[in-house]
Structures are given as structure tokens and as C-alpha cells.
């Protein structure tokens, strides 16, 4: 049985449909990217919130054996403003590179820009750096982003 998902992420149709199925998975992807993710939302026989990463190739959809490589753009040399962190998706750890730029601001209200990162998460990170790192953020503009993927 194949169904579809509404804009709010729920299964379309009667609620009894959710109780009839054994497994619900969502294949998702951006039109600009060749990568697709497959997530399980309901699975009577296994774990939920698991993540599978696939790449669209000339031969069709193929598994990406090392999805962390998609999110890492750094070379062998260490550069300032770049950090690698571990993000858990289900039971799969993914290495993700985050890049940041902090500069003095000429504006009275400096900008805080987050691309691919929640704005509230950036605010918390800046607060931690202020409290424990001694940085004074009111006079600085900061930008943070995922590096790839």
C-alpha cells in the first residue's frame, strides 16, 4: 500500500490507516541535490527515526556508504573558524562540519546569521562562549553555517 504525507507531516487519510500499516518510511530530497534521505517513522519490526542516505546516479539510486563525507569539506590542514561535530540521526553518528565567522561590527545592532543551523541554537552557542570563553558578542557580527550537504 502506498500513501502520501500532508504538509504537516501526517499520513493522509483516515486514522485507521496508520494502525493498519507495519512500516512508514519517507524518501525525501532537494531538487538541487543528488542526495536523498530515507527515514523510518513507524516500524513494528525495528527501530524508528533511522536514516538511510542515497545518491541518484546514472545507474539509479545507490547507497552512500559514508554519509559523513557529504557534510565534510575540509582538507588535511586545520583552519580557524571550522569545527567538526557529531550529530546523531537515529542510531547513526554523522560527522558534520560547521563554519563560523565573527567580525567587529560597525552597526549598533550586530547581525547574527545562521544558515542550516537553528537561530536559537546559535544564540545558545554564543551565550556559552560569552559565559565560559569571555567573548563580548554585543560588538561583533557572527555568521554560522553547515559547510555542505
pLDDT in tens, 38-48: 888 778 888 88
Residues 6+ apart with CB under 8 A from 110: 137, 138, 139, 140, 141, 142
Read off the C-alpha cell for 53. Answer: 542516505
Average pLDDT, stretch 127-134? Answer: 81
Task: Note the pLDDT tens digit of each residue in 104-128.
Answer: 777 777 777 888 778 888 888 878 8
**SS3 call for 103:** strand
Read off the C-alpha cell for 109. Answer: 545592532
- The mean predicted confidence, pLDDT, of the chain is 79
Confidence of residue 55 (pLDDT cuts 50, 70, 90): very high
For the CA atoms of 111, 115, 121, 126, the dihedral, rounded to the nearest 10 degrees, stands at -40
Highest mean pLDDT among 2-11, 55-64, 83-92: 55-64
Between residues 10 and 119, the one the model is more confident about: 119
Q: What is the pLDDT of residue 62?
A: 94
Q: How far is it, in rounded angstroms, from Cα 141 to Cα 144? A: 10
Given a cut of 60, whether residue 71 has pLDDT beyond it is yes
Q: How far is it, in rounded angstroms, from Cα 42 to Cα 49? A: 8
Q: What is the pLDDT of residue 147?
A: 56
Confidence of residue 81 (pLDDT cuts 50, 70, 90): confident
DSSP category for residue 81: T
Q: What is the pLDDT of residue 145?
A: 62
Amino acid at each position: 500500500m502506498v500513501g502520501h504525507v500532508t504538509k504537516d507531516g501526517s499520513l493522509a487519510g483516515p486514522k485507521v490507516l496508520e494502525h493498519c500499516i507495519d512500516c512508514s518510511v519517507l524518501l525525501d530530497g532537494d531538487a538541487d541535490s543528488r542526495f536523498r534521505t530515507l527515514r523510518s517513522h513507524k516500524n513494528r519490526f525495528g527501530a524508528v527515526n533511522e536514516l538511510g542516505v542515497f545518491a541518484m546516479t546514472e545507474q539509479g539510486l545507490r547507497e552512500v556508504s559514508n554519509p559523513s563525507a557529504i557534510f565534510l569539506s575540509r582538507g588535511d590542514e586545520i583552519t580557524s573558524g571550522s569545527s567538526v561535530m557529531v550529530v546523531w540521526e537515529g542510531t547513526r553518528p554523522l560527522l558534520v562540519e560547521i563554519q563560523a565567522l565573527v567580525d567587529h561590527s560597525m552597526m549598533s545592532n550586530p547581525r547574527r546569521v545562521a544558515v542550516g543551523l537553528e537561530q536559537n541554537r546559535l544564540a545558545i552557542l554564543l551565550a556559552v562562549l560569552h559565559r565560559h570563553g569571555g567573548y563580548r558578542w554585543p560588538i561583533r557580527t557572527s555568521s554560522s553555517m553547515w559547510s555542505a550537504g
